[in-house]
Amino acid sequence: MMEGTRDSVEPAGSGAQPVATGPVPPGGVGRAARAAQRRALAGRYALLPLRLFLGVTYSYAGLDKLADSHYLAGAGDPQSFYAQTLAAKPHSPVGWALAPALHEPTFFGLLIAFGELAVGLGTLFGLWGRLAALGGALLSLTLFLTVSFNITPYYLGNDLPYLMAWTAVLLTGTPYLSVDGYLTGRAERDRRRGLDEDAVRRRIVLDGSIAAVALGGAGLLVGSLTATFVRRKPKATTAATASTAGTAAPSTPKPVAGGGSAPSVAVADVPVGGSATVTDPGSGDAVYIVQPKAGQYCGFSSICTHAGCGVNPPKNGKLSCPCHGSVFDAATGAVLNGPATKPLPKYTVTKDGDRLGLGPLQS
């Protein structure tokens, strides 16, 4: 304690009394009061950056899914909602609950995309903020239990931190710089001018509902326009247009010698450095048939060995996982970058005339 100062001035509502232990210089109380005001203001808006981040991120995530031609492509496209859900099922503690999503992947895929958009907009505008945060928390929990559950160490997965962030917004609500804040302030003014409590509550619910319908309608419109006009074009699917990074369409199984049928693709659909996608009839997993060097063919499971996400098709000699950044060698399947530690399962590929057939799993 220095001579000529106060020990402290506690913020309002703390319950502690300021203790004067020496003479107060002119203007000292004013400075302390202003500092206390600044602290109170910072505390009031402490969660605003988090709220804006979550609102923008979830709005963007919803629109990004709607703009992605792979998202609703279905079985055979390893980047689709269906393939990612199928890949997550065996590793998830709630895998049994994913059956409806695999049965109606388009409905559930759209539900998640529009759900993220609704949660993001509600959080950004602070409209029914606690409900939006609850929706965000449930989405994060679902993704944690399906996509991220087996990630080790746990802090490399991003769904658990999102769940914690949503919990903070759920606890505080969105009382400032928000529609909720405006409605609450107006309700206070209504009470002061003598409106009875039922009428005050009716006004809050009615105007909140009108705002929710307007915001929901705007979100539906923007999402639908994005899905219709902004959707990114799929990559080349034919030999004539395939590039070195291209991926041909999933094949239909062709009859093979011996009576059974095995997935196969035309040789011309697998350019050097590119791939074609087939489905392993045993596991249902998508498999990339690749040609890393001219005349050298092999197959790799598209399921990342880290936590089961679908890896992207080969590009520049590598297969990258979008979930946590693992990178695999497109010639051997070996891990080039973690967190994955095991190589991608490799398949034999046989060449018969102008077709490439998927053989047995090697490793």
**Nearer of residues 84 and 123 to ligand FES, judged by Cβ:** 84
Decide: is 306 part of the binding site for ligand FES (CB under 6 A).
yes
Per-residue x/- marks for ligand FES, 264-303, CB under 6 A?
----------------------------------------
- Give the residue, chosen from 160, 287, 307, 356, that forms a contact with ligand FES under the rule CB under 6 A: 307
Pair 298, 348: CB distance under 8 Å: yes
Site for ligand FES in 331-360 (CB under 6 A): 339-340
* Cβ nearer to ligand FES, comparing 124 with 340: 340
Instruction: Specify the DSSP element, H or E, that contains 223.
Output: helix 197-225
Strand (E) positions, 170-283?
A: 247-248, 254-255, 261-262, 264-266, 275-279
Identify the burial level of 93 via C-beta atoms within 10 angstroms of its C-beta, where 0-12 means exposed, 13-18 middle and 19 or more buried.
Answer: exposed
> Can you say how many angstroms the Cα of residue 119 is from the centroid of all Cα atoms in its chain?
12
- Nearest C-alpha neighbor of 278 from the set 292, 261, 264: 264
> Are 277 and 76 spatial neighbours (Cβ–Cβ below 8 Å)?
yes
How many residues in the shown chain lie near ligand FES by CB under 6 A?
A: 12
Which residue lies nearer to ligand FES by CB, 158 or 350? 158
Q: State how far Cα 171 lies from the chain centre.
A: 22
Nearest to 215, CA basis, from 132, 140, 130? 132
Is 86 a binder of ligand FES (CB under 6 A)? no
Q: Is there binding between residue 83 and ligand FES (CB under 6 A)?
A: no
From 6, 62, 13, 83, select the one nearest 216 (Cα to Cα).
Answer: 62
Kindly tell me which of 59 and 312 has the beta carbon lying closer to ligand FES: 312
Nearest approach, Cβ of residue 307 and ligand FES (Å):
4
Least gap, CB of 61 to ligand FES (angstroms)? 17
CA dist., res. 198 & res. 264, Å (int): 69
Measured CA to CA, the distance from residue 363 to residue 347 in angstroms comes to 7
Amino acid at the residue 295: G
Binding residue for ligand FES, selected from 326, 356, 357, 358, defined by CB under 6 A = 326
324 binds ligand FES (CB under 6 A): yes
The minimum distance between CB 315 and ligand FES, in angstroms, equals: 16
Using the rule CB under 6 A, which residue among 165, 179, 309, 344 binds ligand FES? 309
304 scored as a contact of ligand FES (CB under 6 A)? yes
* Interacting residue ranges for ligand FES, rule: CB under 6 A: 304, 306-309, 321, 323-326, 339-340
